[in-house]
Chain A
Amino acid sequence: MFICSAMAMESRRNLNREEVEDCILQMAQGDKDALARIYEMTHAAVYGFSLSILRNAQDAEDVLQETYLQLYHHAPAYRPNGNPMPYLFTIAKNFSLMKLRDRKKAQQMPEDDLLYGEDSTLPAEDRHLLNTLMQVLSEEERQIVMLHCVAGFKHREIGQVTGLPLSTVLSKYHRAIGKLRKQLEEGESSGAL
């Protein structure tokens, strides 16, 4: 019981939005330490989100760089409103969509490949989880799951970034989690990893 509640507390720990917004304001003065801080706090969330759109590790990494550079260069133009997350993630979303468009134009469709292959350095459990997530969920479901689990967004915020109404976000999230649990449990019982 104790372990469960400790894990519950950890997973509920969200990004401190005030801290993130302060970093942006400092970045507007050219403070690169603030850039490093905001990066540390948010880069996994941004990466996960881009990955959910692009399903390609290299592309998501490119978008990761572009997003923070853009954030830094335009920090002076940011108007503080208490919640900087939709701003940051809208930048990431648009870079991701542009990358997707470029890929379509160049006729590259790597979607059938496993996201993380046998040669990846990721632990096996993580690899299996992420591969399953990418294959089993629809595009919207992937985005919603990433934003909720990794970025700690509330469902309403997810609606803001994805443009979906709150009720849709809620139902898709629960359906997605249900699909994932089912797929992972079936995989375990049949011995596959």
Chain B
Amino acid sequence: MERYELELKIKRAVEHATPDVLEQILSRCGEARDTVFLTDEIRATPKRKPRSHLFLAAAAALVLVIGGAAGYGGYQQYFAVDSIVELDVNPSIELEVNRRERVLSAQALNPDAEAILDGMDLKNTDLQVAMNAIIGSMLKNGYINDLSNSVLITVENDDLARGSDLQQRLTEEVSAMLETSSVQGAVLSQTLDQNTGASELARQYGISEGKAALIQEVISLNPLSTAEELKDLSINELNLLLSYSNPQDAAQSGGTGESRSSLTSTGAASDKAYIGLESARQLAYEDAAAYGVQESGILGAEVSMDWEDGRMVYEVEFYAAGMEFDYEIDATTGQILSAEREGGEYEGSGQPPASLSGSAVSAEQALAIAFDHAGVSAGQAQVVKNELDEDDGVYRYEIEFYAADAEYEYEIDAATGAVLKSAGESHFQGQQGQSGAAVTGQEAQSIALAHAGVTAGEAGMIQVERDRDDGREIYEVEFEVRQGSAAGEYDYKIDAATGAILEFDRDTDD
């Protein structure tokens, strides 16, 4: 079978075997999306109408009804706005409410909110009924869902006592509503008065005061973030940042840690759209294992979430093996974005070191290590490549050289001098036409093990096979070594006539 024939067969076989799950995927997507809108669109929506115009216009139509309703004591009192209630999820809605908790007006502050309010007439309805309708619509349209379950309720009232009371009741009602739906909701709520100072920020970015206040709270805990970065985040994302912020960040930048607002939180923000704190931690630990770090030796581990360069990341910090580790991991894909180590044998911060001093390894030393491993002297070798390379914060020397008709490739850890990868290939033509193996399989195995520097007892999964390669009989010997400095997967090709090692390969990756 030709190679391309086999490749095509493999492709066809997998295509036949792949199940079709598109229907399931589409049905799990939900109808609407909390997409990120361009700020220009948001700013175009006027935030507040002058109150007097609104009420006089409405009053003109309702004067007859109100005049006869003795209970209200005149239309002026009915139309007096007592509180402003804002609801933010991604859609942002503002309700003006009177003393009797009747909705006087409902305004959409962004396009998503317009979709929610479309077709709803909330004027004169009871606040609770209106909240019910709005939350119900958000659930139905998928704005509140499994992956994004946080709701922000903001009450603005100069009488903080009344405001707090309303805040508490609304929180209970909304939590109850979410409980009866299938989503496990998280509710953030706060009361603001005129002194909160969020209105400037709100006006500047075209967002609700409530969201602006929440952003200010997040910034007080993550002082390196800016409102510019955070303004487009959903409430769920802001809630995650709030819940999983790094307390050290706040302390280091002299944050007071005192809330200006009365932000209370119930439930837990959903992190189902991300890989999760535990996974992030495991990814960092696995990467650190290359430095001999074992989970049992890890101290002071902390995982937090942050918003960096337009995406959600996990930050994992811990101490182990005398070094301090700092990882940044993409919360969606699990990719390690940066890895820093301090202390121990090597100081690194992701930038090429000016000079590797002390016990770190120089280029000449790395070469010597490779020659030694290959059993070759410097005089015999012709070096083709010796370069320092960086991969995810780990520095290694990539070395290639020829010696006595053989070609060698090595990777040497720049911090510890450990041989990470070794491979050698012999171009020795050998004697053609020699049949019958002078070397037994058992001997071939011993030769391979000896070269690797391990005993049969230390090696596992030993496989020895006869094969033909380039017109000559060979043994292929494979084994793995789990622990110790010689750990890795080994692959040898041994000349069956002479016992010479034709090729060897060692991998230390999984």
Contact = CB atoms under 8 A, between A and B. Distances in A.
A48 B4 contact: no
Interface of B: 1-22, 24-26, 28-29, 32-33, 35-36, 147, 273, 275, 279, 282-283, 310-312, 332-335, 391, 398, 409, 411, 421, 423, 467, 489, 491, 505, 507, 509-510
A69 B18 contact: no
Given A44-B14, A90-B334, A7 B21 contact: no
A84 to B, nearest CB: 12
Interface string A75-115: 01101000000010011001000100100000000000000
Given A64-B19, A130-B14, A149-B10, A39 B35 contact: no
A45 B459 CA distance: 35
A176 to B, nearest CB: 10
Nearest to B273: A73
Contacts of A29: 35
B2 A4 contact: yes
Contacts of B411: 165
A74 interface: yes
Given A181-B1, A184-B1, A167 B7 contact: no
A175 B509 CA distance: 17
A25 interface: no
A101 to B, nearest CB: 7
A164 B147 CA distance: 34
Given A8-B4, A30-B32, A36 B22 contact: yes
Contacts of B29: 32, 35, 69, 72-73
Given A47-B17, A146-B14, A177-B3, 6 more contacts: A69-B29, A77-B311, A90-B334, A91-B333, A129-B13, A181-B1
Nearest to A146: B14
A191 interface: no
Contact of B332 (A74, A130, A145): A74
Contacts of A157: none
Given A35-B26, A90-B333, A47 B14 contact: yes
B273 A48 contact: no
Interface size class of A (residues with CB under 8 A): 35 or more
B333 A47 contact: no
Given A48-B14, A94-B334, A77 B7 contact: no
B14 A65 contact: no
Given A126-B13, A146-B14, A98 B279 contact: yes
A10 B453 CA distance: 47
A163 B509 contact: yes
B288 to A, nearest CB: 15
Nearest to A72: B29
A4 B409 CA distance: 36
Given A47-B17, A76-B35, A168-B507, A39 B22 contact: yes
Interface string A152-189: 00000000000111011001000101001110110000
A126 B7 contact: no
B12 A126 contact: yes
A7 B4 contact: yes
Nearest to B29: A72
B8 A10 contact: yes
Contacts of B18: 43-44, 47-48, 64
Given A91-B333, A177-B6, A57 B26 contact: no
A81 B408 CA distance: 35
Contacts of A68: 25
A51 B14 CA distance: 9
A129 B14 CA distance: 10
Contacts of A168: 421, 507
Most-contacted residue by chain B among A51, A64, A182 (CB, 10 A)? A64
Nearest to A4: B2
B28 A28 contact: no
B211 to A, nearest CB: 18
B333 A87 contact: yes
In this complex, which of B1, B9, B409, B421 has the most chain A Cβ atoms within 10 angstroms of its Cβ?
B9
B28 A65 contact: yes
Contacts of A76: 35-36
Contacts of A125: 9, 13
Contact of A129 (B10, B20, B312): B10
Contacts of A150: 10-11, 14-15
A28 B35 contact: yes
B17 A122 contact: yes
A148 B6 CA distance: 12
Contacts of B312: 77
10 contacts: A40-B22, A43-B22, A65-B28, A77-B312, A91-B333, A94-B283, A94-B333, A167-B409, A175-B491, A182-B467
Contacts of B279: 94, 98
Contacts of B32: 30
Contacts of A175: 491
Contacts of A129: 9-10, 13
